[in-house]
């Protein structure tokens, strides 16, 4: 796929993921619109939404990503009880699955 069509499709998917995450956390940021590759073949992030959690010293970051772990939207930092409440709602209201692999985040 050419760069600009892939980017536009990826941006659309990022916006949709950001809107979902915003409903649960209040403020989410956009992340990556294109899959990371080394061969100059441009692909948008995947359509599916999975949630992932990253624990740091500041608390927990929550990301919505595709099946390859490419983060489409992120929100940070949450205490453990707030994180657990958000994840419970993802599972109950969105029937969303958790991603456990390596997460690709914007630098």
For residue 18, the SS3 value is: helix
| pTM recorded for the entire structure | 0.93
Beta bridge partners, 75, equal 62
Chain segment 30-44, per-residue pLDDT in tens: 999 999 777 878 999
Mean pLDDT, the chain, whole residue set: 95
How many other CB atoms are there within 10 angstroms of residue 35's CB atom?
17
DSSP state of 4: H
Chain segment 89-107, per-residue pLDDT in tens: 999 999 999 999 999 999 7
Domain spans of the chain?
3-93
Tell me, what's the pLDDT at 102? 95
| Six token digits for residue 94 | 């969105």
pLDDT band at 55 (very low <50, low <70, confident <90, very high): very high
């Amino acid at each position: 796929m050419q760069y600009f069509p892939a980017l536009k499709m990826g941006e659309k998917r990022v916006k949709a993921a950001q809107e979902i995450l915003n409903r649960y956390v209040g403020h989410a940021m956009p992340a990556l619109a294109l899959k990371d590759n080394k061969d100059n073949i441009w692909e948008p992030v995947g359509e599916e939404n999975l949630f992932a959690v990253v624990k740091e010293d500041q608390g927990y970051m929550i990301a919505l990503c595709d099946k390859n772990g490419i983060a489409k939207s992120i929100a940070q930092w949450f205490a453990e009880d707030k994180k657990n409440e958000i994840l419970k709602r993802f599972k109950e209201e969105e029937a969303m699955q958790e991603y456990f692999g390596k997460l690709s985040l914007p630098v």
